[in-house]
Structure 1
Amino acid sequence: MQKLIWGLAAATMMLAAPAHAVEVGKTMETEAEPAAVWAAVGDFCGIGEWHPAVTRCEQSEEGGKTRRTLTLGDGATLVEELVSRDDAAMTYTYRIIEGPLPVENYKSTITVTAAGKGSTISWNGTFDAKGATDAEAGEVVGGIYDAGLQGIAEKAGM
């Protein structure tokens, strides 16, 4: 009987364990100075200037929070909200409010740091897959980050 109770307790604990969020992180080294890279990426709505998938960015305020609505090449839109920003540390964090991506509870940070005479650009996110496997959602987000990092490097004069 005691084995049965311990078995049920263990099974209950496994079912109650929180799901682990998917984590995706990409970095790129550039020869551009950090200030030049931050000038390209630091403007929250500047993503329309450097990400190839974004055709338009409209910034707004809602409930005291800064939001951006991104229009993609296929006409789909994403609404993202700025969570935090630190110009001195050259970093900002945002979350997706709504959009067509196979994710929910998405939160992401872009950071620029000095690396020798150049810079490192890091883009890291966590999320739960929605309507896709973790691997599929991770591939989608990873592709977005890769294209964006390349766009930032080009905008910064690489």
Structure 2
Amino acid sequence: MTTRTVLKTALTAAIMLTSLSSLAAGALSVDKQITVNANPATVWKMVGNFNGLDVWHPVVVMSEIKTGQNNQPGAERLLSLGNGATITEKLTAYSDVDTSYSYAIMASPLPVKNYESTITVSSAGEGKANVRWSSSFDANGADDQAAIDAITGVYEGGLNQLQKDFAQ
């Protein structure tokens, strides 16, 4: 094989792998971050409780672990929203050390499917924390932009509330 053939084959394989992995995780993504006026450990106490989304997200009125144990991968939570809708989510990874957890939506009225998300708290310096909420998903019953807008609205609502909660 010539060097050109090897490079062409490697590039083709890389493109195919990238395409397959983006299909598995969802072709769309949202990534939002906010700086909070509190140290990361304090913010993690609030954000890092998988069963505590109702404490800091304004549209979630109740969170209940239905299966498994809180903060343990495999746990499923049922979120009740202010409009009466519910969302079922499954914790897929959790790390107090990395101040991060990942979860997947199992059932939801949101226009998404194959939804996987991660929330991470890190230092922003000067005693402040950075909260990052990101996801990948596919649109479901709506166009891509409507799905992106729905998830963006969810993230902005929660992150803006966190910023208000820790304002000094």
Name the TM-score, length of structure 2 as normaliser.
Answer: 0.79
Secondary structure of the 1:65 match is: coil
Q: How does 1:1-158 map to 2 (within 5 A)?
A: 21-61=27-67, 65-117=74-126, 118-156=128-166
After TM superposition, give the deviation of residue 155 of structure 1 in Å.
3.5
- Does the 8 Å CA contact 1:40/1:152 hold for their aligned counterparts? no
Secondary structure of the 1:111 match is: strand
CA RMSD in angstroms, aligned pairs only: 2.0
Of all paired residues, the percent bearing the same amino acid is 39
After TM superposition, give the deviation of residue 156 of structure 1 in Å.
4.0
Q: Distance in 2 between matches of 1:32 and 1:127?
A: 31
The one-letter code sitting in structure 2 at the alignment partner of 1:154 is K
After TM superposition, give the deviation of residue 153 of structure 1 in Å.
2.6
- Does the 8 Å CA contact 1:70/1:78 hold for their aligned counterparts? yes
Note the residue ranges of structure 1 that are not aligned, 5 or more in a row: 1-16
The one-letter code sitting in structure 2 at the alignment partner of 1:84 is A
Write the deviation string for residues 39-82 of structure 1: whole angstroms up to 9, x where unpaired.
110100110111011011111225x8201000011111000000
- Does the 8 Å CA contact 1:90/1:113 hold for their aligned counterparts? yes
